[in-house]
Amino acid sequence: MQEQKDNSLFDKSNAEEQDSLDWAKEAYEKLKKQQEEKKKSILVQESKELKSNDSFSNAFEASSLDNSITSNDQSDVKENASENKVLDSEEPSLGEFDKTFTWSAKVLEAQGRKVENISLDEINWLSRLQQGLEKTRKGFVTDLLDKFGDDPLTPETLDELETLLLRSDVGVDATDQIINALRKRLNEEVLDSKEGLRFLKEQLCKIVDQPIKNSGKTLLMPSENSLNIWLIVGVNGVGKTTTLGKLANLALRSGFSALIAAADTFRAAAVEQVKVWGERSGVSVVANETPNADPAAIVFDAIGAAKSKKIELLLVDTAGRLQTKNNLMEELTKVRKIIDRLAPEANVESLLVLDATQGQNGLSQAMSFAKSANLTGVVITKLDGSARGGVAFAVSSQTNLPIRFIGAGEGIRDLRPFNSFEFVEALLADS
């Protein structure tokens, strides 16, 4: 796998290029056929549903009654009648066989994937990630490729690369690590621009992979048949609620049962917003409409509901807070205590949401949050609107927290588990 990964997309002979194109064409045909078959089966399904419409609506009303969770005086626990149904209305559709498609196919092929096993979701995500990182790329890669040129790398090129990396919010530590590694190679041998670029990609991957390796978990996903509680924390407006909705939907599409606790009672509209996401993603929400209700009490109820319904993933939305607001930081500690007391057996993750558009500023937040929230990972959002995608490297090198998910859009499917190879390829894509 590593060998395949090292086979940089930039470093292909003409014959390999042709093979990749054939691979992409085959993948495109396969996805097209799959989509046509799906359309046909939906049509058949719809005509069946039309016939049994009466019995369906009756059954729905009955099940929504059965599903209601008894409320108590602490919080009014509300259940969504369409509990744990995957909503596919936002399913992607296959676009043109264009440069973006072939690039996405190449990224999958380079990771050793087989045409039979790829999905439209993956192709679609890679296309959006590549397009989303365009702003970062424009301020970085275009200049980088210019600087690298066609000649072997020189110490001056490295100086210029250093400036570019710092300008893209890669941070001092990560930049030093990369430049030192390149300098060492350059002292040992002549590096042509292709090899220089391949080596740079390898170093970038190494930086973001290190905390993931240290955590002992390559991929963060809920453990099956047990309770997993993921706390979503971060300052105001970074995309916590949106991330939570996307995660809930991703969990469902991956076959896990999920429940949302709307524990952000600080902002007036937050509960309503979570409910909208709950409906959109097909996941039930435990909430309390009372302004400033106790978040710990909501988490208490949600854990009870999750246990009784054998839910695998409980996602907890928390209020956005600044590290200076001590009361809110204490509230987070209280929520954590409730979890430890009520569900000591649960796998708890505390994920800090960082907004990529804030670049390095987000980092100081991460550091101060780490104490009260026992952070275990990071989610980087808004990569689509940011020219500071390089901040991912600064986060990894300075906090040692694994990046678990990245978001690149406002759609429900615009969040995926973090994959360093895909991220670096998208960041340095030659287009």
Ligand X SMILES: Nc1nc2c(ncn2[C@@H]2O[C@H](COP(=O)(O)OP(=O)(O)OP(=O)(O)O)[C@@H](O)[C@H]2O)c(=O)[nH]1
Question: Binding residue per annotation — 241?
Answer: yes
Residue 408 Cβ vs ligand X, minimum distance, rounded to whole Å = 6
User: Quick one: 410 or 430, whose CB is closer to ligand X?
Assistant: 410
The number of residues that bind ligand X (CB under 6 A) is: 21
Cα torsion through 415, 419, 425, 427, rounded to 10: 50
Rule CB under 6 A: is residue 236 a binding residue for ligand X?
yes
Output the six-digit token pair for 72.
């108590």
264 known member of a binding site: no
Nearer to ligand X, 147 or 416 (CB): 416
Minimum distance from residue 87 beta carbon to ligand X (Å): 18
Cα 145 to Cα 382: distance, rounded to the nearest angstrom:
25
The H or E element containing residue 260 is strand 258-263
238 annotated to bind ligand: yes
Q: Is 333 annotated as a binding residue?
A: no
Q: Taking Cα atoms as reference points, which of 359, 404, 403, 363 lies closest to residue 385? A: 359
DSSP one-letter code for 385: G
* 361 marked as part of a ligand binding site: no
Confirm or reject binding of residue 384 to ligand X (CB under 6 A): yes
Is there a contact between 165 and 177 (Cβ–Cβ < 8 Å)? no
Closest among 4, 6, 393, 422 to 202, alpha carbons compared: 6
Q: Work out whether strand 403-407 and strand 415-417 pair parallel, antiparallel, or are unpaired.
A: antiparallel
Report the distance separating Cα 331 and Cα 326, nearest Å.
9
* Residue 291 in tokens: 């302004």
User: Nearest CA to 195 among 6, 375, 384, 393?
Assistant: 6
Stretch that binds ligand X, among 55-63, 174-182, 240-248, 334-342 (CB under 6 A): 240-248
Residue choice 167, 267, 325, 334 for contact with ligand X (CB under 6 A): 267
Whole-number Å distance between alpha carbons of 267 and 265: 6
107 annotated ligand-binding residue: no
Say how many CA atoms lie within 13 Å of 315 toward its Cβ.
Answer: 32
Applying CB under 6 A, the span of 79-87, 141-149, 282-290, 403-411 interacting with ligand X comes to 403-411
The identity of residue 225, as a single letter, is: N
User: Is 376 annotated as belonging to a binding site?
Assistant: no
Quick check: 247 binds ligand X (CB under 6 A)? no
350 binds ligand X (CB under 6 A): no
Is 84 a binding residue for ligand X by CB under 6 A? The answer is: no
Minimum CB distance to ligand X, residue 101 (Å) = 22
Q: Does 128 bind ligand X (CB under 6 A)?
A: no
Q: Does 19 bind ligand X (CB under 6 A)?
A: no
305/415 with CB nearer ligand X: 415
- From 98, 330, 410, 430, residue interacting with ligand X (rule: CB under 6 A): 410
Contact, 398 vs 186, CB < 8 A?
Answer: no
For residue 383, say whether it is annotated as part of any ligand binding site.
yes
Candidate residues 95, 237, 255, 291; the one interacting with ligand X per rule CB under 6 A: 237
Give the residue with the Cβ less far from ligand X, 175 or 318: 318
Q: CA-CA distance, 304 to 290, in Å (whole number)?
A: 20
Q: Is 235 within any annotated ligand binding site? A: yes
Applying CB under 6 A, among 164, 258, 270, 392 the residue interacting with ligand X is: 270
Distance CA 34, CA 48 (A): 21
Residue 291 in contact with ligand X, rule: CB under 6 A? no
Nearest to 231 by CA among 364, 321, 103: 321
Taking contact as CB under 6 A, which single stretch among the options 75-83, 145-153, 295-303, 377-385 is the one that binds ligand X?
A: 377-385
The answer to whether the annotation marks 225 as part of a ligand binding site is no
**Cα 406 to the center of its chain, rounded Å:** 3
Contact string (CB under 6 A) for ligand X, positions 319-338, x = contact = -x------------------
The reply to whether 239 sits in an annotated binding site is yes
Is 64 buried (19+), middle (13-18) or exposed (0-12) by CB count in 10 A?
middle
The footprint of ligand X (CB under 6 A) covers 234, 236-242, 264, 267, 270, 320, 381-382, 384-385, 407-410, 414
Annotated binding site for GTP: 234-241, 317-321, 381-384
Annotated binding site: 234-241, 317-321, 381-384
